[in-house]
Structure 1
């Protein structure tokens, strides 16, 4: 892959997040979030790829554009055999991670090495594999990122020898949450000993739920900066808090964690293992994202060249594309960040570039779709909102942290 120019990420993120003047309370919070967002945020993406694959109904002619984030879902979409995937992201670390995964899929010798690198991600031999198989094939910008040093002087690539999923803003947030729980003599890992969903619920209600009622926890979660580790900017924090009638963030987080802990079997939910165990489970039966499963390895590696990862803004990328040239759009929860003017630009660009039958999938912190009343009705009239299917997708999204999963289909 050829070297690519470095884009000023801070400026792009500022444009997406900053809505208020510098010296206002909200303005200060927005700028603090921008500072926190400069590095790796998501070592693993937190949108359920199996829900995505069902909603998107990908075909061999599908041309997908998505936000890259941790790159897991980008590779997982290959299992459905699309024609092409373009993944864009404003975060340079996410772009570097996506390109690392592509290079690893191309050049690691077998599934065992690929699994060890990304499913275990805590083995010293991963660094040897990186140097021997992956590094020579990385673009210059991504290689500089991984061989550069973090804030405490460690080369970033060594995260794959020490527990990569404990790194990044989200990994640090989960670690801090474990620490707070231990202050109340609760070890979140106890949930992973459950053998049935009934046992999961009993452990949650006895051990974990009471932590959210502690005065310090209620105070801490009422501070918007406390959720920067979830990648939640101030505007999205407000939407999330609004999911509780009394605006209690502790109550919202408790409800979301209850779904994660109690609604899905541990044998089928790798998000629970990440939240309560800070990594994937061990053994051949441990749940994994589709791209890491042995049965999908050949499909992922055979199709890996269909992915193009770009350090770019979604709207600016769409503005370069011809009319009716794309048919699958995945926006993650990025619209929660957006002003009405930016939402309008985005949906105008999506509608112009959408081929017949195109699908748009996104998530929101609150339950309802955020588009009505914010995007022009004449634009929304071009799209069918799949209300019942969206509710069903939300119910079955194993990551459990979003209030709503929303699917729109272009009318024919």
Structure 2
């Protein structure tokens, strides 16, 4: 029995690694930078190391004027997306940036890419977008860039169900609501129509959770807390977001429910008021296609900030030796006062090695209060540590 369990775990890990290393997984960031910037307190001396994800938050951090941001991702597709976003700033046309990444679509995207954007890209990014620039060309079956990539495919399933059920109008009323009472009313109308037995089954499939970037280790953390597993977690997360937190400026859920942002509900990097400032600063972002360990070996610090997203969960309990090695490199490349930010599907930092908890002072009072204002709502906890 144990042998079969090991085979299953190894298959799940192989499936997840295959998905996240060969495909664009995240087409938008799924962490709230409004809270990040309060915790990170970036300034002109800040030297940041962060996981790239979709690059939205790296651009957001530029508003605080850090000296350098190193975006590190083992998945070249994620760095290609960061590179494309920088190319749209280099090109200098805000309307083009908005069409590609605000609306998520542009007729003639392939021609525009070849004429105006490709010249700014690195060779690996050119290879990726030469084959995938059609992500931005709308079609009846793929109406938006935000319904492409593996997480986008899952969003497309939800979008199509909304269309089939005739819920588009009420979804928009929900997203435009300005009071908790109003949005709760609309959500209660929608919720019973969203789910059926098939969706409960689907939520438990490893292939689906791998597509949205959730590894087996994270699923196990969720299963220990939620009796109904991933489906129960999703239901409770949605109810938390739509009935307890203001939704009118929640661009995270808007883009996945509608396929586009709105001018007054979008990431900061898509706001016209910030375009010229970010255009002047985008060169401060450098991308590196490698693991975090490889990056720190090749580019020793010290660094003032590390933003690890939910990456720690990927190693929790399953790869303790790798987790400890990574933290030794992080601490070796830190200095007193370095801030380390990460999120988790769990509720504590007990899974971290003892030497980390001895040297890093965590601030649960601050992070707990901010967690209650997180617009994404899909993490159980946020952790900010200060290196002593």
Taking structure 1 as the reference length, what is the TM-score of the superposition?
0.85
Assess, with a 3 A threshold, how the Cα gap between structure 1 residues 81 and 209 changes in structure 2: closer, same or farther: farther
Find the aligned partners of 2:300 and 2:114 in 1 and give their Cα distance. 40
Shift in alpha-carbon separation, 1:28–1:188, aligned structure 2, 3 A: farther
Give the aligned partner of residue 222 of structure 2: 240
Report if aligned partners of 2:109, 2:133 keep a CA contact under 8 Å in 1. Answer: no
User: Alpha carbons of 1:384 and 1:210: their partners in 2 closer, same or farther (altered >3 Å)?
Assistant: farther
Equivalent of residue 130 in structure 2, options 134, 140, 147: 147
Against the structure 1 CA distance between its residues 357 and 147, is the aligned structure 2 distance closer, same or farther, given a 3 Å change threshold?
same
CA RMSD of aligned residues (A): 2.2
Moved more, 345-354 or 259-268: 259-268
Where 2:372 maps in the other structure, the secondary structure is helix
Deviation at 1:359, TM superposition (A): 0.4
For residue 64 of structure 1, report the CA deviation from its aligned partner. 0.2
* Aligned CA distance change for structure 1 residues 85 and 200 (closer, same or farther; 3 Å): same
Matched, 1:62 2:42: no
Give 1:206 shift: 2.4
2-side partners of 1:321 and 1:226: how far apart?
35
The alignment status of 1:159 with 2:135, answered yes or no, reads yes
Deviation at 1:168, TM superposition (A): 0.5
Q: CA deviation at 1:271?
A: 0.9
Choose the corresponding residue for 2:60, options 76, 79, 84. 76
- State which of 196, 201, 204 in structure 2 corresponds to 1:219: 201
- Cα distance between partner residues in 1 of 2:202 and 2:99: 37
Quote the offset at 1:259 in angstroms.
2.4
**Aligned residue in 2 for 1:306:** 284
Q: 1:328 aligns with which of 294, 302, 305?
A: 305
Paired residues of 2:146 and 2:260 also in contact (CA < 8 A): yes
How many residue pairs were aligned?
374
Q: Which residue of 1 aligns with 2:342?
A: 362
2:149 is the alignment partner of 1:168: yes
Is the alpha carbon distance of 1:147 and 1:189 closer, same or farther for their aligned partners in structure 2, counting shifts above 3 Å?
A: farther
| Long gaps (5+) in structure 2 | 139-143
Q: Distance in 2 between matches of 1:76 and 1:21?
A: 45
Tell whether the 8 Å contact from 1:261 to 1:272 is kept in structure 2 after alignment: no
> Residue in 2 aligned with 1:349?
329
Structure 1 residue 226: Cα displacement: 2.8
1:35-184 matches, cutoff 5 A: 35-37=18-20, 38-106=22-90, 108-148=91-131, 156-162=132-138, 163-179=144-160
Residues 127-146 of structure 1, C-alpha deviations (whole Å, 9 max, x = no match) = 44322221122122211111
Change beyond 3 A, Cα 1:39–1:189: farther
Task: Write out per-residue CA displacement over residues 299-336 of structure 1, whole angstroms, 9 at most, x where no aligned residue.
Answer: 2111111111010101121123445x101100011111
How many Å separate the matches in 1 of 2:118 and 2:299? 32
Asked if residue 400 in structure 1 is aligned to residue 377 in structure 2, the reply is yes
Which residue number corresponds to residue 141 of structure 2? none
Partner of 1:250: 231
Cross-structure match for 1:12: none
Q: Distance in 1 between matches of 2:11 and 2:356?
A: 34
Any unmatched runs of 5+ in structure 1? 1-19, 149-155
The SS at the match of 1:146 is helix
Per the alignment, residue 314 of structure 2 pairs with 337
Q: TM-score, normalized by length of structure 2?
A: 0.90
Tell me: CA distance 1:263–1:293, structure 2 relative to 1, closer, same or farther (3 Å): farther
For 2:184, the equivalent position in structure 1 comes to 201
Which deviations, in whole Å up to 9, do the C-alpha atoms of 1:138-179 show, x marking residues without a partner?
12221111112xxxxxxx112123221110011101112344
